[in-house]
Amino acid sequence: METLKQLQPVLTVLQWAVAIGAAIFMLYMRSVFASKGDQAALQLRVAALEVANQLLTQQVGQSPSKEELHQLQIAMTELTGKLNVHNERMDGIEELHKTIKHQVQVMDGYLRERK
């Protein structure tokens, strides 16, 4: 019993050291794990990211395939060619208009002189 009395100060110091160590460990664990408020904020963020992911997935599903894009490119090339043909025809019609206008002016001038 006497030995226990001699060891009491050592045991008291050891008890305090264990209590301080446990308090430090609890503070450390609190900083490592998220609090309930942090968990709620993280859950909201995860939900928002899931919605964004669903929207992106839906948009990707609605986008045209590689084959459809290729067909669209071919159609646009054909349309460009047809527009170029129409522009050339319009240039020809414009030249014809200038020629006819000149001929009408010449004929008008001739007819006015004859009067």
The full set of domain ranges for the chain reads 1-32, 35-63, 65-115
pLDDT of residue 4: 65
Enter the pTM of the model: 0.41
- Cβ atoms of 42 and 34 closer than 8 Å: yes
Write out the DSSP string of 43-66: HHHHHHHHHHHHHHHHHHHHSPPH
Residue range 15-64, pLDDT digits in tens: 888 889 888 888 787 777 767 777 888 889 999 999 999 999 888 888 88
Counting residues of the chain whose pLDDT is more than 70, the rounded percentage is: 97
Question: Residues with Cβ < 8 Å from 42, sequence gap 6 or more?
Answer: 34
CB 38 within 8 A of CB 30: no
